[in-house]
Amino acid sequence: MQKYLKEIFGDVKSIGAGISVPCPRCGKNHITTGDAENGISRYADVEICKACEQAEAMLDLEKKPLRLTRWECVRAALRGRTFLDFLRNRARVEEELECELIIDNSDMPATFYWDKESRITSYGAEYFAPIVEAPYEVLENGNMEIFCDDYELGKEFVMAVAGYIGQSEYSRMFEVPPMDNIRIENASFRLDDSGVSCGIKLKGVDVNERFSLTVSRWNAPVRFTAVCQPESGGMKCRYSVGQMEADYPATEEETGRIRAAMEAACIREYGCTLGELWNSFVDAAETGLLVITKAEEPIKNYEITEYVCAASTPGGTHVLIMRVLCKDTGETVWVIGDDHHCAVAREDFIRNQNISYGSVLIRELLYQNHTPKSTGKWRPLIEELMNFTITKYLEHNGLVRVYPWWLPEQVYAHLGKELFSQMCRNCDHIILRQNNMMEFVPKRKT
């Protein structure tokens, strides 16, 4: 890996002076090479933007520096060439792959097996980040070399893939296909203070033997209510047969498979993982107004035909309008809002005072009570409006108030997701100023 990094950063340093280029660390802010105002990275000996220099200092205090493989210049150079790209690209695994892995110039102690059904979760990718973010090469003998310098982590990776870890940890790292006899009842999928829960039917189970109950003559299904707490990874189960209900001591293997089935159903129903659904619930717990809706396919084929900053008040509030043509349906909609709320409507009710707001409204939401995932099919348009809102508020006011879950990722890319999440833990909203300077406003104590 060091050879790749040396080449990439060598190319960055070889750029002549006086040229405007994206910051190699965040890729967003531009710097002029050779400018004395530029920051200098403490880890790569290259020029970076001032915001990244500050971020490096903060992460250094936390002893959690951003891995060089997370730098934008490295990600761009290795895009499509990392081991994670291989693992998540089903087309590269025609049927199944069985080979030896070489990591840190050493053979691994277990054979690597991967097929079209194999998956690695976000948790697994983060845990083995130095391995999966490294480039790879398929050798002539069919084996694979991963250009990572961490032999011990490589050994842990291949042993984990081979199943030499606990079932619950395996399920967290590698998505396990649901058992044939587990079927999710999506209608009972719900959220509450105890966690994410859903009803599960078991079919093909010998009820008498499994539960020591004489119920076969009832011809009644065994129903499970599994409550998963993604934050702690815990799982509680209860079962019922007819009117009978009792606690169910799920085995470690069953817990992993039930959780995998719940995960698949959650993604299918709401377009997000259990953890993301739970975090959305936690984010809105104070208001109690989070709306969980069944996932709709987001609008993809659209064209924004007009951007307008339609009105401004002496208090600094601006009304933004986007006119959007949905090409698949031929429908035109207006997405309208300020920094507090927005609406999707069939007509422009702002500039046409004769139109009744209620008669043309399609969807209305407060940014405080919704996350992008809860906006359904209109998510791409509302995110476009948020970007437009931030741009115009910064242009006119020099600052804008944004709720953390609505802040575009490119704005905080220089901090990294992990540090940003930590800083937002007790944050009510963010005051974003020009040059991406952020003030994290804490939640009010009650």
State whether the Cα torsion 128-264-419-376 is positive or negative: positive
**pLDDT score recorded for residue 306:** 93
Q: How confident is the model at residue 402 (pLDDT cuts 50, 70, 90)?
A: very high
Does the pLDDT at position 307 exceed 90?
yes
Residues 6+ apart with CB under 8 A from 340: 366, 367, 368
Domain ranges of the chain: 2-77, 80-173, 182-283, 302-442
CA atoms lying within 13 Å on the CB side of residue 38: 24
State how far the Cα of 355 lies from the Cα of 335, in Å rounded to an integer. Answer: 15
Instruction: With beta carbons less than 8 A apart as the criterion, state whether 203 and 261 touch.
Output: no
Say what the pTM is: 0.40
Alpha carbon distance 47, 39 (integer Å): 6
Secondary structure class of 184 (helix, strand, coil): strand
C-beta of residue 83 within 8 angstroms of C-beta of residue 132: yes
* Confidence (pLDDT) at 236: 67
Least confident of 162-176, 248-262, 298-312, 379-393: 248-262
Count CA atoms closer than 13 A to 79's CA, side-chain side: 6
Average pLDDT, the chain: 75
Q: Report the DSSP pairing between strands 101-103 and 144-146.
A: parallel
pLDDT in tens, 218-243: 344 455 566 776 656 666 666 565 55
Distance CA 68, CA 8 (A): 11
Q: Which two tokens stand for residue 379?
A: 């998510």
The better pLDDT of the pair 101, 4 is held by: 101
In which band, very low, low, confident or very high, does the pLDDT at 329 lie, cut at 50, 70 and 90?
confident
Task: Express each pLDDT in 12-54 by its tens digit.
Answer: 788 888 888 888 888 878 888 888 888 888 888 888 998 888 8
- Taking alpha carbons only, the member of 67, 55, 79, 73 closest to residue 13 is 73
Q: Which of 36, 43, 8 is nearest to 52 (CA)?
A: 43
Per-residue pLDDT reduced to its tens digit, 119-135: 788 788 888 988 888 88
Q: How far apart are CA 18 and CA 23, in angstroms?
A: 14
Positive or negative, the CA dihedral 280, 281, 287, 289 is positive
Edge-to-edge strand list for the sheet holding 234-241: 182-192, 195-202, 222-229, 234-241, 244-247
Please give the pLDDT value at position 269.
62
Specify which of 44-53, 182-191, 296-305, 319-328 reaches the highest per-range mean pLDDT: 319-328
